[in-house]
Chains A and B, each alone.
Chain A
Amino acid sequence: MTEKKHRGTLLKIVVLAIALFAMIIISFVGSEVGSGIVGSEPLSLFNVEAPQYHPAPEKPFHHLPITNTMITAWISIAVLGGLFFIGTRNMKLVPTGLQNFLELIVEGAANFIEDPAGKKHGTWFFPVCTTIFLFIVANAWVSLIPGFETIRINGEPLFRSANTDLNVPAALAVVSFCYVEYWGFKAKGVSYLKTFFHFGPLWQAIKLIVTGNIKAGAGGLLNGFVAVFAGLLEILSHIIRMVSFTFRLFGNMTAGMILVMIMIFLVPWVLPTIFYGLEAFFGFIQAMIFAGLTLGFACAAVMEE
């Protein structure tokens, strides 16, 4: 009895796999590039327009300064806000359904943050890091809904993933940078500036030389210069960090968008689904990396020496 059932499911899976594979082959041969390779006429069914990429976001409404990435960012804000509003409207002590799911997210994030940062600093970092994570992941996943890039108004796509607009990652990077510096000052006070302007060892060495202890002073002088130089490098690294943040997110999301466009152009059926799954995974990973790096730099900024 069970063996027969097993054989039935196996047969179904094999038939489905063959059908999907056949769809991939047919759509590849029928598309523009594949028909060129095989030497047949392209089928009008698979007539996908060649991928076009514009780095700047388009403006679907002629006179309004509203870009399509902005609309998407609003949508993801609305989705997040609506989800959390509905989920926390009738809060119960023993959560069920949506509230349970949201508590899972929030508790997971809280554990993830409190693990390296500790209880006190964790409560500082939690709102910003979690918001960054949720915003990026919402932007990435909202843009996987069918209709993005394809619904057109006035010849321009109405929606486009907000992460593929350089301004959005840049804004998030600036927010992350400002908060890291703010937390540094909050934790250490004015002495946080010592991270950047570390003149202490140099002054001590000069003092030693002036008071006559030249031998000890000369050795300290080198260390002093190294400390000053390291502090200046620290300023540079904090600024380069922002650029790196920006281009990591922007590059990953743009590359994903172009990859999906090219796969749809090459093989219109079935195969792009795999890349949609990959994009969902990468959106999650990139959001985690953005939030996690903010957390890591924040921990480094508030750490006692």
Chain B
Amino acid sequence: MEIWTDVAKLIGAGLAIGLGAIGPGIGIGLLGMGAMNALGRNPEARGPIMTNMILGIAFAEAVAIYALVIAILLIFVA
């Protein structure tokens, strides 16, 4: 019986980070697309586009980090 708690923990952690990375992945892709489009239209605005893209990516990535925190807690703490 003991092994099933470990199994559940591992599956839960894998699912948490795997499913949690889908949304941020799409989000970062969209951000990159938007930045490339903007860069193609207006190559002189490279600096501000770059800064804002990195800020946006950091926000999208934070969602994946929440999933990662859950996965870490499941494996190491629960």
Contacts and interface: CB of A to CB of B under 8 A. Distances in A.
Interface in B1-31: none
B72 A254 contact: yes
Contacts of B58: 285-286, 289
Interface stretch (A215-223, A244-252, A268-276): A244-252
Interface in A49-65: 53-55
Interface residues of B, number: 14
Contacts of A248: 62, 65-66
Nearest to B59: A289
Interface string B55-66: 100110110011
A255 interface: yes
A76 B62 CA distance: 25
B55 A53 contact: no
A292 interface: yes
Nearest to A281: B54
Interface in B31-73: 54-55, 58-59, 61-62, 65-66, 68-69, 72-73
Given A289-B59, A292-B55, A53 B72 contact: yes
Contact of A285 (B54, B72, B77): B54
A252 B77 CA distance: 18
Nearest to B76: A53
A288 B54 CA distance: 11
A76 B61 CA distance: 26
B73 A255 contact: no
Contacts, number: 38
Contacts of B61: 252
Contacts of A247: 65-66, 69
Contacts of B72: 53, 55, 254-255, 258
Contact of A254 (B54, B62, B69, B77): B69
B65 A252 contact: yes
A55 B65 contact: no
Contact of A255 (B55, B65, B76): B65
A219 to B, nearest CB: 38
Interface-central residue, A53, A54, A255, by most chain B CB under 10 Å = A255
Interface string A30-72: 0000000000000000000000011100000000000000000
17 contacts: A53-B72, A54-B76, A55-B72, A247-B65, A247-B66, A247-B69, A248-B65, A250-B69, A254-B69, A255-B65, A255-B68, A255-B72, A285-B55, A285-B58, A288-B55, A289-B58, A292-B55
7 tightest Cβ-Cβ pairs between the two chains A and B: A251-B65, A251-B69, A248-B62, A285-B58, A289-B58, A255-B68, A252-B65
